A and B are shown apart, each in its own frame.
Chain A
Amino acid sequence: MNDFHKYDNEVQPDNKFGHALRLLEQHLPADLDQDGVHLDLACGFGHVAEPIKDWFGLHYVGVDVDELELDQLRARGLEAHAADLTDPDVAERLRKVLDGRRLVSVTFLDGLEHLTDGSHALAALGELLAEHRAVAVTSVPNVTHLDVGIKTLLGTWDYTEAGLLDVTHVQLYSEKSLTAALASAGLSRIGREDVLLARSDQHFPGDHVGLSEATTFSRYLRTVRGDAEPNGLVNQFVWALTAAPPRPAPSYVDPRSTETDRFLSVVMRTQGRRIQELREALVCLAAQSCQDFEVLVVAHKTNAEEQKAVEVVIDDQPPALRERIRLVLLDHGQRSAPINAGIEAAAGRYVAIFDDDDVVMGDWVKEFRDAEREHGGRILRTIAMKQGASVDTVRGLPGIRSTTAPEKAYDDDFSLAGHLVANQSPPIGWIFPRSLATHFGLAYDDSMTTTEDWEFLLRAAQLAGVTDIGRGTAIYRWWETRESSRTAHPIDEWAQNQREIERRIDSRPFLLPPGETRQLRADLLELTELRKRTRQMQRRVTQLEKKSAQKQTQIRRLQRRLRQQRRAKAPAPMPPTLRQRLRPRTRLKAMARRVRGS
């Protein structure tokens, strides 16, 4: 372990300097050339100069625009050069600084955010790393830290003298925007040692309810953010970089590039064992009155024969549908893995989970798309019917035989509180905005062997809300003889998964949509009333039991008295007659003799 104590107080194991040095240690080549140069861009005071020299034996060269700080470096016996990192010719300037020497590594710590246009500095870095096969470490403050995010949400933006919102910062970065800026300059991340701070320099005022980790509001935001993106506590991104082919892109986001024309992505998982059901599912899609959808058939753990069977079904489809079907092969994971793989590959604004044995009406897509116009962003729900089915082979071809009429088995209207008790929404009856996956990080939990859709719906419905369309557009098949998820898992397992859902729901704040409290209030009032009545009834029962016990005692006493009276009045018992004393067998014999004699 390197000794940080002998250096400048600013260099600590748990700050950006310490992290940057560790990353360099990990990524510098083992056979370091002693004549190699380390460039420290936007070096300022040059905090890492001595560790760079001492630990890695590299020749430190500081580069900055501030002559005063450069003079101080020179006074410490260090090489220092002036360079404007916003200059379009900065790469050439740095080549002159190197003057033919071999560049081994670069640090660019908390400098990028101070540049009005950092693209030239990053491009120069990319070029030099490529030319010298060198590595770099950069650190950049994370403007999406939870402290900044929560305060911004509540309308506060506090510049400070230094820190996350240093008043001199002119560019602000998230992980995504930093990655994009680096990629555009031909830089790729090869390691990270981000600095985490639960309480950043923006964690003020101290009594801010939104910032406190203990408040319900804050806990809710933190759990939602934690699902969405992992950098809520990252104070500074500290990344090791290497050269990569540049992917030129503007330094801003074009909102139009984030829009998708496709309405729906239908994710259909299959194991390649229910081929006839898959055919039925796809003909339902081929016949949709609205064809604004793509289909992602996720073949999960299929063997060669099963995969081939799925491919034949896809090849058989009409061209207009076939060109919108993508086959995704997946060989790992449990029940939810293919769903998540499908969601990841999806491009639509909404996602439907369509099991390969589901059936839908011809306006299934259209009803959803019509609802999106007014309720875009919410979960859209229709009514799914339940219908019994079995496999029936006719003339050598296995087909599906419906065994019961489609019947209503689920609630017409969605209630989030009601869904805490039981799932009333089979997946084929609802679709969700893909944004829940891309922006909120929601995914089906692959550790759950059953009820994974229920768990997802409970989380998704809190965030997006649910719009009921009120039409029956889907049929959920209820297999009577064949294996299905219903029959493949024992009841205990279903109960165990339900308990797990309850545990998870209880572990975090729960958000109810408007109107749900009315029903809860009504239910709670009814429950209170019922409990009151139950208590009254219990009291009455207790009274009656007491009375009953008293009566029993009285009856026993009277019975005892009666027995005593009878004993007192009863005559002495008569001795048994001869006949009574004869054994039954003897009596029978005597009777038989009499009969024979007569």
Chain B
Amino acid sequence: MLDEPRLDEPVIIGVQSLLYHTPMAGVVRMLEALDNSSRIGQSEGMCTGFVVTLGDASSERLLSDADLDELRARLPHIHQLRYHFFADNVGTSRGHNEMAQILDDPDYLIFSNPDVVPEPRAIWRMLAAFKDPSVGFVEAKQLPIEHPKDYASGTGFTSWATTAFAMTPRDLFVELGGFDSQTFFMYCDDVDYSWRVREAGKQVVFQPAAVVFHDKYLDTDGRWMPTSAEVRFSAEAGLLIAHKWSKPGLVKSILRRFESADASPEEKAAAREFRQREREGTLVEQRDPDHTIGTFAKGRYAEHRYSL
């Protein structure tokens, strides 16, 4: 047993991950890593229960009942492996909200990308941050490419946490109404949740000692290569969050760019979606009019240490 900070009482951990035509090899690697984390947590008295929920937003079931039985047999330290087939591409916000409603026994929820492999101690180091009652949301550091947003040495306080792998108390998640699925399909739902956590007087923490592997592809110059879908939904989410967190000037400027002749097809699609919501009156109420919470810095939601 390592001499590391930990909560006074053991807890129940719930991990939820949304699948969308995800290659199963990566999902199995994640589950094996979670099973191993649970083994450590239980053997060292840090958890009494470890529940994993897989929400499947693919057009067809990725896992049959037989596959699930086989997985459950292989993963003895995961007390419950739940599988929910949405039969619809629900997006991350709605998907996570619905998964969180399936079970009410976890004390802490972890939102995990399905291709993430947590380091064996990552979950327990994230959990330890909640010894501080002011902490509401904790993010693990991603490898091989660390997210460049800035955080405070010592406290780890940061602007927002990415749900590639992040942990929040379930009670707080329920109290805040979960992710804003009305606004965000994917992307920026985590930024928005982080800011609402901070709006509620809690802190968001980046813990670099808690590490997860979340693969990224770099080009030969070391730049990240996002997919077309990532560009599309990222652009849309960028508009919506600027609107929600009271940045009309920024919305105008983004729309001008996305509606110009030089805009990419993904950017044009994002602008069309925003205009449609505007017309239909489905944009949510704006908040943080004094800009005490939200950070908009050169198209990012925190100051960055470097550009990728």
Contact = CB atoms under 8 A, between A and B. Distances in A.
Interface of A: 276, 279-280, 282-284, 286-287, 289, 312, 316-320, 359-363, 383, 385, 392-408, 412, 470-472, 475
Residue of A280, A360, A412 with most chain B CB atoms under a 10 A cut-off: A280
A515 B129 CA distance: 57
B215 A287 contact: yes
Given A287-B29, A405-B306, A405-B308, A394 B208 contact: yes
Contact of B213 (A316, A317, A362, A393): A362
A475 B125 CA distance: 25
B267 interface: no
Nearest to A364: B144
B212 A406 contact: no
Contacts of B217: 361, 363
Contact of B154 (A282, A361, A394, A412): A394
Contacts of B26: 289
Given A393-B153, A472-B218, A472-B220, A402 B125 contact: no
B120 A406 contact: no
B213 A318 contact: no
B222 to A, nearest CB: 4
Contact of B35 (A318, A397, A408): A318
A397 B207 contact: yes
B165 to A, nearest CB: 12
B146 A318 contact: no
Interface in B203-254: 205-213, 215-222
A316 B222 contact: no
B159 interface: no
B94 interface: no
B143 A394 contact: no
Given A289-B25, A385-B218, A279 B119 contact: yes
Contacts of A403: 305-306
B113 to A, nearest CB: 12
Q: Is the interface of A mostly helix, strand, loop or mixed?
A: mixed
25 contacts: A283-B212, A284-B143, A284-B144, A286-B29, A286-B213, A287-B213, A318-B33, A318-B36, A320-B32, A362-B213, A362-B215, A363-B217, A394-B151, A394-B155, A396-B4, A397-B4, A397-B207, A398-B209, A399-B207, A399-B211, A401-B153, A401-B208, A408-B221, A408-B222, A472-B219
A133 B125 CA distance: 64
A363 B215 contact: yes
B186 interface: no
Residue of A276, A319, A394 with most chain B CB atoms under a 10 A cut-off: A394
Interface string B102-131: 000000000000000111110001001100
B2 interface: yes
Closest 7 pairs between A and B when the two form their complex, measured CB to CB: A399-B208, A362-B215, A397-B209, A287-B213, A399-B209, A287-B117, A406-B222
A204 to B, nearest CB: 55
Residue of A289, A395, A404 with most chain B CB atoms under a 10 A cut-off: A395
Given A284-B143, A394-B156, A402 B305 contact: yes
B145 interface: yes
A401 B219 CA distance: 22
A343 B263 CA distance: 53
A393 B4 CA distance: 13
B29 to A, nearest CB: 6
B223 to A, nearest CB: 8
B211 A395 contact: no
Given A394-B206, A406-B218, A283 B211 contact: yes
B117 A286 contact: yes
A276 B141 CA distance: 12
B220 A283 contact: no
Contacts of A396: 4-5
A408 B218 CA distance: 11
A473 to B, nearest CB: 8
Contacts of A395: 5, 128-129, 132, 154-156, 205, 207
Given A286-B33, A287-B29, A361-B215, A392 B153 contact: yes
A408 B220 CA distance: 7
B148 interface: yes
B81 interface: no
A283 B144 CA distance: 10
A402 B306 contact: yes
A398 B153 CA distance: 10
A400 B208 contact: yes
Contacts of B101: none
Contacts of A362: 144, 213, 215
B63 interface: no
Contacts of B302: none
A385 B209 contact: no
Contacts of A397: 4-5, 125, 128, 207, 209-210
A560 B17 CA distance: 95
B27 interface: no
B154 A359 contact: no
B40 interface: yes
A284 B216 CA distance: 12
Given A276-B209, A395-B128, A359 B222 contact: no
B222 A404 contact: no
Contacts of B292: none
Residue of A280, A397, A404 with most chain B CB atoms under a 10 A cut-off: A397
A361 B305 contact: no
A408 B225 CA distance: 15
A408 B207 CA distance: 27
Interface in B152-203: 153-156
A400 B211 CA distance: 10
Contacts of A402: 146, 148, 305-306
A383 B129 contact: no
B64 interface: no
B148 A405 contact: yes
A319 to B, nearest CB: 7
A412 B220 contact: yes
A135 to B, nearest CB: 56
Contact of A359 (B120, B143, B205, B209): B143
A359 B4 CA distance: 24
Nearest to B118: A283
A515 to B, nearest CB: 21
A381 B182 CA distance: 48
Nearest to B121: A316
A280 B143 contact: yes
Contacts of A405: 148, 222, 306-308
A466 to B, nearest CB: 17
Given A287-B29, A318-B35, A395-B128, A470 B213 contact: no
